[in-house]
Chain A
Amino acid sequence: MRVVVAEDQALLREGLVLVLERDGFEVVGTAGDGPDLVRKARAHKPDAVVADIRMPPTQTDEGLRAALEIRQTHPQIAILLLSQHVQRRLAQELLEQAGAVGGTGYLLKQRIVDGETFCSDLRRICRGASVLDPEVVATMLGRARRDDPIERLTPRRREVLALMAEGWTNAAIARRLTLTEKAVLKHVAHVYQELGLTTHPDEHRRVRAVIQYLGR
Chain B
Amino acid sequence: MPTGGLPRERDGAGRRSAAPAGAVKLVVAELAGVGVLLGIIEIALGATAVHDPWWTIVLWPAAAWIYLLAGIAAWRRRPYNRIGPLLIAAGFVLLASGLVGDEPAIEAIALIVATLPYALVVHLLHAFPSGRLQGRLSVLTVAAGYAVCLLLQVPQYLFGPETALQVADRPDLADAALRLQWTAGSAVMVVTAVILARRVRDADPSERRALGGLYLYGILAVLLVPLSSQVARAWTDEVSVWLGVAQLGIVAGVAVAFLAAMVRGGFARSARIEELAAWLAGDMRAGELRDVLAEALGDPTVELLYWAPDRGRHLDVDGRPVALPDAPTRAVVDVSHGDRKVGAIVHDRALAGDEGLVRAAGRAVALAFDNERLMADLRASREALRASRARIVAAADDERRRIARDLHDGLQARLLLLAVHANGVRTDAQASAQVRARARELEAGLDEAITELRELAQGVVPAALTERGLAAALEDLLDRVPIPSRLEVGGVTRTALRGAAESTAYFVVSEAVANAVKHAGARELDVAVRLSDGWLRVEVRDDGAGGARLGDGAGLRSMADRVEALGGEVAIASEPGGGTCVAARIPALARHGVDLLDRATGPADR
Report A's interface with B, CB cutoff 8 A: 9, 11-12, 14-15, 18-19, 22, 53-54, 56-61, 83-85, 87-90, 108-110, 112-116, 139-140, 142-146
Contact = CB atoms under 8 A, between A and B. Distances in A.
A140 to B, nearest CB: 7
Given A54-B466, A88-B475, A89-B468, 16 more contacts: A12-B416, A14-B417, A19-B420, A60-B468, A84-B467, A85-B463, A89-B472, A108-B454, A110-B419, A110-B451, A110-B454, A112-B416, A139-B479, A144-B481, A144-B484, A144-B485
A110 B419 CA distance: 9
B571 interface: no
A114 B424 CA distance: 9
A9 B413 CA distance: 8
Interface stretch (B154-162, B224-232, B442-450, B544-552): B442-450
Contacts of A9: 409, 413
Contact of A85 (B409, B454, B494): B454
B382 interface: no
A54 B467 contact: yes
B480 interface: yes
Nearest to B476: A87
A23 B240 CA distance: 133
B458 interface: yes
Contact of B475 (A18, A57, A61, A87): A87
Contact of B423 (A58, A113, A146): A113
Q: Is the interface of B mostly helix, strand, loop or mixed?
A: helix
Contacts of A113: 416, 419-420, 422-423, 443, 446-447, 450
A109 B420 contact: no
B603 interface: yes
A114 B450 CA distance: 13
Contacts of B485: 144
Most interface-central of A9, A53, A87, A142 (chain B CB within 10 A):
A87
Contacts of B416: 11-12, 15, 109-110, 112-113
Contact of A11 (B414, B422, B450, B466): B414
A150 B72 CA distance: 85
Contact of A110 (B422, B450, B463, B606): B450
B603 A115 contact: no
Given A11-B413, A87-B476, A113-B416, A61 B468 contact: yes
Contact of A84 (B408, B481, B482): B408
A175 to B, nearest CB: 20
Interface in B411-434: 412-414, 416-417, 419-420, 422-424, 427
| Chain B CB within 10 A, most for which of A108, A112, A113, A115 | A113
Interface string B377-420: 00000000000000000000000000000001100111011011
Contacts of B476: 85, 87-88, 139
A116 B472 contact: no
B423 A115 contact: yes
B468 A87 contact: yes
Interface in B477-494: 479-485, 494
A107 to B, nearest CB: 13
Nearest to B469: A60
B463 A89 contact: no
B457 interface: yes
Contacts of B472: 87, 89-90
B423 A60 contact: no
Contact of A60 (B458, B467, B475): B467
Contacts of B424: 18, 22, 115
B464 A85 contact: yes
Contacts of B46: none
A107 B228 CA distance: 115
Nearest to A23: B427
B463 A83 contact: yes
A85 B447 contact: no
A43 B417 CA distance: 29
13 contacts: A11-B413, A11-B414, A12-B417, A15-B420, A18-B420, A59-B467, A84-B412, A85-B458, A113-B420, A113-B450, A140-B479, A144-B482, A146-B524
B427 A115 contact: yes
Which 8 A-B pairs have CB atoms at the shortest separation, nearest pair first?
Answer: A85-B463, A113-B419, A11-B413, A59-B606, A84-B463, A144-B484, A15-B417, A12-B413
Given A11-B417, A87-B476, A144-B481, A59 B466 contact: yes
B605 to A, nearest CB: 9
B417 A90 contact: no
B462 interface: yes
Contact of A115 (B420, B450, B481): B420
Contacts of B481: 144
Contacts of A60: 466-468, 494
B478 to A, nearest CB: 8
Contacts of A14: 417
A13 B443 CA distance: 19
A73 B447 CA distance: 37
A143 B479 contact: yes
Nearest to B408: A84
A139 B475 CA distance: 11
B226 to A, nearest CB: 96
A14 B417 CA distance: 8
A87 B481 CA distance: 14
A115 B419 CA distance: 10
Contacts of A85: 454, 458, 462-464, 476
Given A54-B467, A113-B447, A116-B427, A59 B413 contact: no
A21 to B, nearest CB: 11
A58 B458 CA distance: 19
Given A59-B466, A113-B446, A84 B454 contact: yes
A87 B603 CA distance: 22
Contacts of B451: 110
Contacts of A112: 416, 420
Contacts of A144: 481-485
A59 B603 CA distance: 7
A116 B468 CA distance: 31
Nearest to A108: B454
A140 B475 CA distance: 11
Most buried by B among A15, A53, A84: A84
A38 B467 CA distance: 19
B420 A89 contact: no
B542 to A, nearest CB: 13
A145 B484 contact: yes
Contacts of B468: 60-61, 87, 89-90
A90 B457 CA distance: 19
A53 B603 CA distance: 15
B135 to A, nearest CB: 82
A33 to B, nearest CB: 10
Contacts of A59: 466-467, 603, 606
A90 B464 CA distance: 10
Contacts of B482: 144
A181 B574 CA distance: 55
A12 B422 CA distance: 15
Contacts of B603: 56-59
A116 B414 CA distance: 20
Nearest to A56: B603
Interface in B48-89: none
A23 B71 CA distance: 104
